[in-house]
Structure 1
Amino acid sequence: MEIKVCGPGCASCEKTQKAVEAAVALKGVQATIVKVKDFQEIAQLGVFSTPAVVIDGQVKCVGRIPKQSEIESWIG
């Protein structure tokens, strides 16, 4: 599983990344977490507002910090 956390590195993006890392650790899933800061790459994913979470190419959340429980449901 590949999880991309998209954003320039603002406080909201950092909180999102921490929530993703916590959810992955809690669920014990094998996942690669990638921080995407390049706006062109973010736009190519179909994301135009940050923070955003993309799991295996599917955009799950845009423009807000997702709850850890939401992330857990996305990663199974």
Structure 2
Amino acid sequence: MISVKVLGPGCKKCQTLESKVREIVSKNNIDAVVEKVTDIQEMMNYGIMMTPGLVINDQVKSFGIVPKEDQILKWLNGG
């Protein structure tokens, strides 16, 4: 099972990224748990400087942007 964390306090970009990730996981039948992280300390532990952050299996994949859908899918599939 894939662990996905969307890091962010709840801004518009954070909400957009979270809904996009959930939609991609559902649409592609990916076995993943999507978690929204709003705790500042936990976000700092990942070393991101801007939100939203996207963490897949404890690896930071992006921060400060909402990646394109095909890029998120690629990361979820191990790419």
Q: 2-side partners of 1:67 and 1:6: how far apart?
A: 17
Report the count of equivalent residues.
76
Runs of 5+ unmatched residues, structure 2: none
* In the alignment, structure 1 residue 33 sits paired with structure 2 residue 27: no
Deviation at 1:51, TM superposition (A): 0.5
Q: How far is 1:27 from its partner? A: 1.9
Give the corresponding residue for 1:54: 55
AA matched with 1:14: Q
RMSD over aligned Cα atoms: 0.8
Query: What TM-score, normalized to structure 1?
Result: 0.94
SS in 1 for 2:27: helix
Query: Displacement, 1:26?
Result: 2.1
2:69 aligned partner: 68
Runs of at least 4 residues off by over 4 Å: none
Question: In the alignment, what sits opposite 2:20?
Answer: 19
Flag structure 1 segments of 5+ consecutive residues without an equivalent.
Answer: none
